[in-house]
Amino acid sequence: MLVPIKWLKEFVDLNLTPKELGDKLVSAGFEVERIKDLSLDITNVQIGRIISIAKHPNADKLVICKMDMGDRELQIITGATNVSEGDIVPVALDGAHLPCGKDIKAGAIRGEKSEGMLCGGEELGLTENDYAGAGCDGILILDKSAKIGENINEHLGLNDFVLDISITANRMEAHSVYAIAREVSAVTGAQLKPLNLNFTASKSHEVSSAVSVANAEPKLCPRYMGALVKNIKLSQSPAIIKNRLRAVGVRPINNIVDITNYVLFEVGQPLHAFDLSTIKGEKIVVRRAKKSEKITALDGKTYVLSKENLLIANEKEGMAIAGVMGGKNYSVTETTKDIVLESARFARDNVRATSKALNLRSDSSQRFERGVDFSSQEVGLKRALALIHEFGFGEIGGGILDDFQNKPNEKIIKFSGADIEYILGVKIEDADIIKILNFLQIPVKQSGKAFTVIVPPFREDIFGVNDIAEELIRIYGYEKITPTLLKSAGTLKGGKNSEQKTNDKIKNFLVGKGAYEILTYSFVSPKIYDMLLLPEDSPLRNAIVISNPLGEDYSVMRTTLSAGMIKALAKNSPKTCRLFEVAKVFLPVFDKKGYPTETNTLVIGSLGEESFYSFKEIIEDLCEVLRIEGISYEKHMISYMHEGRCAKIMLGGETCLGYFGEVSLASAEKFGLDKRVYVAEINYEILLARAKDFGGFKVQSKYPAIERDLALICDNELPASEILSASKRGGGGLVQSVEIFDVYTGDQVPAGKKSVAIRFVFQSDKKTLTDNEAVYFTNNILKELNKIGATLR
């Protein structure tokens, strides 16, 4: 919301600098994003009068002007032909900067000195609509009221500051200069001056005899008001209106349109002027558009409407897209004689939907989208009529149309000073409560300790005592609160639960393994399915789809974290790195309440000096650290994994905890990788649930251990896990540990076979084992190994 300070001053006396005013508004809840000094666009341009014009001795097309600058005379050379002696013109002096980008220097032109430049309208950023005469090709001849010697900014109303205020969504009424003036009055203690709403209506023309309103959609148009103005005199607006409109970024057009815009900014009410002669059947009909009904709007484009769009129509056809834009053939033109001024309230969501559907925005639609309160239709209409009356733009017809079918009930709030203190934790004296509410024009009555507030219609955001508390504290001052630390609350235990602690432990463990934690978007492109080479019937392709994504690349909720991980690895390639992420995957499997399945998942990735086994070690160590027992690994196949280098992580032989392996080159290539990378994806929720804090203390055996190595030969396909479990079976509980320390295939062993070197440690808790016992159990182990096809080499 742009608020020129001069406009504010019409309603409230101000002695603050723009910065001081801005600070006060910020503390009252109006964030001032910028303070613009309008005078900075044009610098060092003064108003002067041409005393005389003489021919340039050395140039046919140039003339020498002698200028009266008030306190001095100047000589300026110009090539313009539209100037004559006595004209009052803008003079850019030495060092002037113009909005067109020109910087002016004094100097000599063809041997004659020129102490500046006479400016044209365009050079000052003005069009004909901004200033009469500005559109001509030549020098801008100022009107006779311009004061010689004055800075041009004074004359153009640019000696002003404009506050750019961001308004919170609840304060719909504050999108107006007058509402900001009310706030300024509250924060400065200066009285708010009333808006001039006075006009004299003609007795001979009644609006009701010219036109009537039939509102078929009171929900979409809760209030529709109209007034008649006869015999309008279409012209340019007076300077004050033009200057103020320009200050808020609106181009002046003509006096009638300008008045509607002026009221939009001053009071916050959009108005629209219909040419009375175009209202066929003398009836304004508020209705939904018919399917495919067309209307050509003021922007010259034809829009195809739907039943969702509200129309302001005459008996035959639509005359305006309600709240968005008027129709081309029904608005004010040069030939317009009488007008009907519309001042309505349209439902903000409907205006927003229509504006969006038609891709058509206007100051009016933006204003309606923010919400217009019920009081401003009347205030806005009367203010426009008062301005038309004041400037003599037309004759005001008698009476006002007002279709207001469902008037909202008056809101009454009762409270006491203690109630306010209970919310704020600071006591505001009764006298201050009354004073603040009075400034905000919120009517309040006091009876003993009880206050009664009748919420004014322009404050639709106020519902209850909490809202009153906010109104009070924002003016009273938050800095007057003494901070307390949950003064009345008891002590609570709080803290992280065990799963949250385990989460921290896992992340720290992975960091210790050299992994960096990454962060990728939850929404992905469906293209990743193909990059992961997922088969057409893969359940991972069945994702939750976002109906309004930012683009196809962010259109589905991911069902796997692997793609994001491989992408991140590719991004860092060829740098050696380990990465991890804990995030959710989403599946369209819905619970009783209707929530889809969100599963916290851990993904680990690695690139560089990694092998399948070194990568597996991360998972093995993780399970060890979390004391998860019963982990086993099974060969696994996944579309994007190397067929021979992928494993499923099994828990207790039944639950699948996840999988890991080497990404197949075919898939890696799709991500732009030409390196071997490893990825593990693990169900984090099972991991957290099964993690144990501590497994229980075990006293270590004090008797010596015996180590034995065996070299075995077996089929290549025999998994290591079976060799290890057979060894444990044969060990009679005395095998402290067993490990495979070498696997060999090649010339020394027959084809299809492998040599496996295995080391046992025997140890008893009860006694020192003898050599004989070691031999006995070694033989037992060999027997078990023979059963699975492993023999001594």
Q: Hey, which residues between 168 and 197 contact another protein (CB under 8 A)?
A: 168-171
Binding-site member from 292, 359, 406, 497 for another protein (CB under 8 A): 497
Residues 195-234 contacting another protein, CB under 8 A: none
Residue 304 vs residues 294, 321, 362, 365: alpha-carbon distances, Å: 5, 11, 18, 18
Residue with tokens 């508004």: 25
Question: Which residue of 431, 485, 699, 751 would you call a contact of another protein, by CB under 8 A?
Answer: 485
Does residue 504 bind another protein (CB under 8 A)? yes
Residue ranges in 514-553 that form contacts with another protein under rule CB under 8 A = 514-523, 544-550
Residue 424-453 contact track with another protein, rule CB under 8 A, x = bound: xxx---------------------------
Kindly provide the b/e burial profile for residues 588-600, where b requires at least 16 CB atoms within 10 angstroms of the residue's own CB: eeeeeeeeeeeeb
Buried b (16+ CB within 10 A) or exposed e, 246-280: bbbebebbbbbbbbbbbbbbbbbbbbbbbbbebbe
Binding segment (CB under 8 A) for another protein, from list 72-80, 151-159, 397-405, 565-573: 565-573
Tokens of 460: 């639709």
Q: Contacts with another protein in 697-756 (CB under 8 A)? A: none
Quote the tokens at residue 412.
Answer: 């009454």
Shortest Cβ distance from residue 377 to another protein (Å)? 18
625 binds another protein (CB under 8 A): no
| Part in contact with another protein (CB under 8 A); list of ranges 429-437, 478-486, 641-649, 671-679 | 478-486
Q: Does 621 bind another protein (CB under 8 A)?
A: no
Which of 189, 392, 443, 596 touches another protein by CB under 8 A?
596
Segment lying near another protein (by CB under 8 A), choices 8-16, 54-62, 164-172, 663-671: 164-172
The amino acid that residue 60 corresponds to is D
At 164, list the tokens: 């750019």
Q: How far is the CB of 295 from another protein (least distance, A)?
A: 24
Indicate the pairing of strand 107-109 with strand 201-206: unpaired
Q: Which residues in the 301-340 window bind another protein by CB under 8 A?
A: none
Nearer to another protein, 285 or 428 (CB): 428
Residue 467 touching another protein (CB under 8 A): yes
Tell me the window of 380-388, 512-520, 734-742, 764-772 that interacts with another protein (CB under 8 A): 512-520
Q: Does 279 bind another protein (CB under 8 A)?
A: no
Closest CB 428 distance from another protein, rounded Å: 12
* Residue among 469, 524, 540, 710 that touches another protein (CB under 8 A): 469
Strands annotated E in 631-685: 631-635, 641-651, 655-663, 677-683
Q: How far is the CB of 81 from another protein (least distance, A)?
A: 49
331 C-beta neighbours (distance < 10 Å), count: 21
Is residue 620 part of the contact set for another protein (CB under 8 A)?
A: no
Q: Which of residues 7-26 bind another protein (CB under 8 A)?
A: 26
Q: Rule CB under 8 A: is residue 589 a binding residue for another protein? A: no
* Shortest CB 464 distance to another protein, Å: 7
In the set 51, 100, 216, 511, which binds another protein (CB under 8 A)?
Answer: 511
- Max Cα–Cα distance, the chain, nearest Å: 132
Peptide bond into 57 cis (omega under 30): no
Return the closest-CA partner of residue 91 out of 53, 54, 141.
Answer: 141
Assigned token pair, 100: 């067109």
Give CA–CA dist 5/32, Å, rounded.
13
Minimum distance of another protein from residue 284's CB (angstroms) = 25
Taking the complex as a whole, the smallest distance from the CB of residue 482 to another protein amounts, in Å, to 6
Residue 19: other Cβ atoms inside 10 A:
11
From the list 8, 400, 579, 686, which residue makes contact with another protein (rule: CB under 8 A)? 579
Q: Contact region for another protein (CB under 8 A) — 221-229, 433-441, 593-601, 740-748?
A: 593-601
By CB under 8 A, the residues from 28 to 87 that bind another protein are: 28-29, 31
Q: Which stretch binds another protein (CB under 8 A): 6-14, 214-222, 502-510, 741-749?
A: 502-510
Task: For the CB of residue 738, give the shortest distance to another protein in the complex, in Å.
Answer: 28
Alpha carbon distance 225, 236 (integer Å): 26
Out of 576, 748, 768, 770, name the contact with another protein by CB under 8 A.
576
Q: Which of 208, 466, 599, 701 binds another protein (CB under 8 A)?
A: 466
Q: Is 111 in the site for another protein (CB under 8 A)?
A: no
Closest CB 367 distance from another protein, rounded Å: 13
Under rule CB under 8 A, residue 482 binds another protein: yes
Backbone angles phi, psi at 112, to 5 degrees: -115, 140
Among 36, 193, 513, 675, binds another protein (CB under 8 A): 513
Q: Which is nearer to another protein, 515 or 540 (CB)?
A: 515
How far is CA 40 from each of CA 192, 283, 548, rounded to the nearest angstrom? Answer: 30, 50, 43
Q: Are 59 and 112 spatial neighbours (Cβ–Cβ below 8 Å)?
A: no
Region near another protein per CB under 8 A, out of 234-242, 461-469, 525-533, 720-728: 461-469
Number of residues that bind another protein (CB under 8 A): 95
Specify the DSSP class assigned to residue 330.
G
Kindly indicate which of the ranges 37-45, 167-175, 385-393, 777-785 contains the residues binding another protein, using the contact rule CB under 8 A. 167-175
Which of helix, strand or coil describes residue 33? strand
SS3 track for 408-474: CCCCEEEEEHHHHHHHHCCCCCHHHHHHHHHHCCCCEEEECCEEEEECCCCCCCCCCHHHHHHHHHH
Q: Which of 403, 610, 662, 681 binds another protein (CB under 8 A)?
A: 610
CA 63 to chain centre: 57
Comparing CB distances to another protein, the nearer of 391 and 509 is 509
CA distance 390 to 533: 76
Answer for which of 49, 155, 242, 474 binds another protein (CB under 8 A) is: 474
Which residue in the set 177, 510, 540, 679 belongs to the binding site for another protein (CB under 8 A)? 510
Interacting span for another protein (CB under 8 A) from 121-129, 573-581, 653-661, 681-689:
573-581
When asked if residue 423 is in the footprint of another protein (CB under 8 A), the reply is yes
What are the structure tokens assigned to 769, written together? 């084992």
**Which residues contact residue 539 at a Cβ distance below 8 angstroms, ignoring those fewer than 6 apart?**
559, 587
**Binding range to another protein, per CB under 8 A, among 286-294, 388-396, 528-536, 579-587:** 579-587
Nearer to another protein, 100 or 550 (CB): 550
Asked whether position 464 contacts another protein by CB under 8 A, the answer is: yes
630 touches another protein by CB under 8 A:
no
> How far lies 786's CA from each of 532, 781, 789, in Å?
42, 9, 5
- What gap in Å lies between CA 269 and CA 381, rounded to an integer? 8
Task: Copy the structure tokens of residue 253.
Answer: 């057009």
Q: Give the other-Cβ count within 10 Å of 449's Cβ.
A: 11
- The nearer residue to another protein, 498 or 716, going by C-beta atoms, is 498
Asked if 557 touches another protein (CB under 8 A), the answer is yes
Helices 177-188, 430-439: crossing angle, 10 deg rounding = 150
Q: What are phi and psi of 226, to 5 degrees?
A: -150, 150
CB of 448 to another protein, least distance (A): 21
- Minimal CA–CA distance to 175: which of 387, 368, 457? 368
414 near 452, Cβ under 8 Å?
yes
The alpha carbon of residue 485 and the mean position of all alpha carbons in its chain are separated, in whole angstroms, by: 33
Q: Which of 230, 352, 729, 793 binds another protein (CB under 8 A)?
A: 352
The backbone torsions φ and ψ at residue 647, rounded to the nearest 5 degrees and listed phi first, read -135, 150
Q: Alpha-carbon distance 588 to 578, whole Å? A: 31
Total residue length of the chain: 793
